[in-house]
Amino acid sequence: MNAELIAVVLAVHDDTPMVRTLEEGRSLPSGPLRTTHASLQKGVRDWVEQKTGFHLGHVEQLYTFVDPPCTDGTRVTRISYMALTRVGADTERWKSWYDYLPWEDRKTTASLPMVAVLEEKLLSWAGNDHLRQQRCAFNFGLDGMAWDDELVLQRYELMWEAGLVPEAPHFVGGVNFGRSMTSNSRRILATSIARLRAKIKYRPLVFELLPEIFTLWELQRTVEAIAGRAVHKQNFRRLILHQNLVEKTTGLSSSSKGRPAQLFRFRRELVGSRRFMGSKLPLVKSS
């Protein structure tokens, strides 16, 4: 069995959550595990640097995925990692992760027509099967159930099972729900988004995606981009300031419309010393 290291390199650029891709957006940076790699993480860092030129900051292991057997009987084990960085001058190979999982963006009503078609397809697949109906309702927030922004992987896998994504062996065709990717790449992307959405609620990972100096509005927009949902502005600011994770600088933003906004910095000396928010993000209920 061959082992491959695969990296989901995430960033937020112009209020859009981005993923670094290869092959015109069809795959993620990856490479085989070699005996010369001192560790799995060192291996994935080496491959990302070699293929993208990025020196990664925060890196953490996700899950291990095993591909179905090839025609010759061999199988590939893919060891996935999530990495956080900032977009540089080269933006061409960065793609919005909502290009691949458009139903995950609930910040505006723009995706509602597509989501309505998706829900119709899912319910058609569920038919009279009560368990399938329950899974559709739970994962996609149907029949009055709340939308859980962390169930990214479960939603993708339900669509895969229903044959609604091209990666599924029994793809039904018809409507294209987002861009497809090679092998397990879209499943691995979904896993990474779910991990990040969960962790920004209790660890200060969001600051890895921001410049050293930022406004509270920029911080809010970054959180909203990741969560795929709007937050209550005043409640969010009270929550952030109450945590004492940011401090004012002497500068003001020159790019804001109207009055210049106060600039803040993240107090990195607090990393590891406390939980981030300790309570749920003040997310606005999705439609």
Percent of the chain with pLDDT over 70: 90
For 125-171, what is each residue's pLDDT tens digit?
999 999 999 999 999 999 899 999 999 999 999 999 999 999 998 89
Q: pLDDT-derived band of residue 248, with 50, 70 and 90 as boundaries?
A: very high
- Those residues whose C-beta lies under 8 Å from the C-beta of residue 26, and which sit 6 or more positions away, are 180, 181, 182, 185
CB atoms closer than 10 angstroms to residue 75 = 11
- Distance, in Å, from the CA atom of 113 to the CA atom of 82, rounded to the nearest integer, reads 31
For β-strands 262-266 and 94-96, DSSP reports them as: unpaired
Q: Output the six-digit token pair for 40.
A: 């799995």
Residue 279 pLDDT > 60: no
Report the pLDDT averaged over residues 194-214: 91
Report the pLDDT averaged over residues 224-240: 91
pTM: predicted TM-score of the whole model, two decimal places: 0.89
For 78-96, what is each residue's pLDDT tens digit?
889 999 988 876 777 899 9
- Distance, in Å, from the CA atom of 84 to the CA atom of 210, rounded to the nearest integer, reads 10
Q: Output the six-digit token pair for 186.
A: 């879209």
Report which of 151, 188, 228, 161 is spatially closest to residue 64, judged by C-alpha positions: 188
- Residue 176 is predicted with a pLDDT of 83
Q: Output the six-digit token pair for 187.
A: 């499943």
Angle, to 10 degrees, between the axis of helix 152-161 and the axis of helix 112-126?
Answer: 50
Q: pLDDT-derived band of residue 186, with 50, 70 and 90 as boundaries?
A: very high
- Residue 159 is predicted with a pLDDT of 95
Burial level of 129, CB count in 10 A (0-12/13-18/19+)? exposed
